[in-house]
Chain A
Amino acid sequence: MQLATLLERCRQGDELAWEAFVRQYQRRLYSLATCYATDADDARDLAQDIFVRLYRTRKQWTEADVFVPWMIRVARNVCLDRVRARKARPPASDIPAEDLADLAATSGNPDEDYGVAMRRRLFYRALRRLTGISREIILLKDIQGLQIEEIASMLHIPLGTVKSRSNRARLELARNVLALQGQGPTTSGGGDQ
């Protein structure tokens, strides 16, 4: 079913369409919620709150071509409401990688799956070490795939700032990955020219 049709049926209160919508986006929104949650239960409750907010505002849903960025914006607002209610930014140590079974891969080749799963867990751990704004930019741009213009509008910062912060965040992430691999941080002058 086309997204536009699905959205229209949801707007009209079609319960089957809403169930299909939930099934279609629950993995994505649960992934987003994990970045703001303190533990697995919190992530589940947060993801549920996102869907409840979406359901209550279904009459105001945007058109299909811009729906996903709008949905992520709503989801982020729900997450930030929760964060503000906790009076703190999302903690650096949220859900352990081991608690997320979906970080495992299922290609059918056990050796390959193990390698892929280990790399995903490594990057997830490196992501958890980032500061709040760096993690949010990586989450929105590199994980959720939003355009820079959409992120700039969402975070209320200029386009150039999004680009520079994104570059810094990716470098910070890469350094964290190397540090977790035991190769140490690569600081300026660390090369072997």
Chain B
Amino acid sequence: MSGDLNRADCAFVDRWLEDWLAGRLDPDVAGRIDEHVAGCERCRQLKAVVAGSEADANGAPEDGAFLSAVMDQTTGSPCGRAETLLPGLVDEDLDADSREILQAHLAHCSGCSRLLAALQEAQRVLPTLAEFEPPLGFTQRVLGATVGAAPPPWWLRVLARPRASLELAYVGAVLLVVLLGNPVAAFTQAEQRASQLAGAVPVARLSEQLGVRDAATEIVAQVLSMATSVVNAVQTEVATRLNEARALVQAVQTAIANAIAWISNIDISQMLGRDQAPPPRGQPTEPGVRR
């Protein structure tokens, strides 16, 4: 019931159809249903069928649109279930009941009938694809590669294996470790050895001799100062961005909390109460209970 809450829709008609036909509804409600049915082809058909079925149980029409409407309101399309049974029908592997209801469906469903025809044709055609004529000279090629041909050496057969490259890489890695020792060993005590090497280089003495000691010290100090200032600037910038991000997250959290509080305060039952039809005239009824 969208838009005007005082107007009936198809679901409303479905719910109160029997009471409406039996004249047990308030005039206001009945009028709303009259107004909807007058403009709804589906509900007109539904009314005709239900009214007819009450008069004559065998009078239901064989109408595709009506059946589709009923299936849509109940189980949905049966084609999916029919498709799962089709291979069994082709293989004659279905029990009698399943075969009967499937054939009843196929009599009225062109889509499933086409699928069945394709399955049946596949059963005839696929076995004919079992043999293809190879190209000319194929037999001679095979005989040349087998009879009298020397088998390839063992290493060629090994290389022809699909995982040969992986296996070779593994063997190579193992060999390297065995031959060269632990590759990590070269880096153990690296710091200590580096210090020894650095101590052995007479840098200080050379600097004094060349008279460049003070100049070099000043240059190093300037470089260190510049690096420190750059690091400080980066740290400040990162801290600013982090603070902005935190503020943004807090604002979003607050907005979500406000929205949840607003939604929880809505009185849904009060809103829905306007959609409920008034109880039928005379006796109270419960929806879904047939009389």
Contact = CB atoms under 8 A, between A and B. Distances in A.
Chain A interface main SS type: helix
B139 A19 contact: yes
A27 B129 contact: no
B220 to A, nearest CB: 54
Contacts of B133: 27, 30, 101-102
Interface stretch (A1-9, A59-67, A150-158, A174-182): A174-182
B211 interface: no
Interface in A87-124: 100-103, 119-120, 123-124
B39 interface: no
A73 B96 CA distance: 37
Interface string A150-187: 00000000000000001100110111011000010011
- Which secondary structure dominates where chain B touches chain A? helix
Interface in B28-60: none
Interface string A31-55: 1001000001000100110011001
A65 B125 CA distance: 26
B29 to A, nearest CB: 33
A48 to B, nearest CB: 5
A127 B134 CA distance: 19
B68 interface: yes
A35 to B, nearest CB: 9
A81 B142 CA distance: 19
Contacts of A56: 151
Nearest to A119: B125
Interface of B: 64, 67-68, 71, 76-80, 83-84, 86-88, 90, 105, 108-112, 114-115, 118-119, 121-123, 125-135, 138-139, 141-143, 145-148, 151, 161-163
15 contacts: A30-B131, A31-B129, A51-B145, A52-B146, A84-B162, A102-B131, A120-B128, A143-B129, A170-B119, A170-B122, A178-B114, A191-B79, A192-B111, A193-B67, A193-B77
Interface of A: 15, 18-19, 22-23, 26-28, 30-31, 34, 40, 44, 47-48, 51-52, 55-56, 81, 84-85, 100-103, 119-120, 123-124, 127, 138, 142-145, 166-167, 170-171, 173-175, 177-178, 183, 186-193
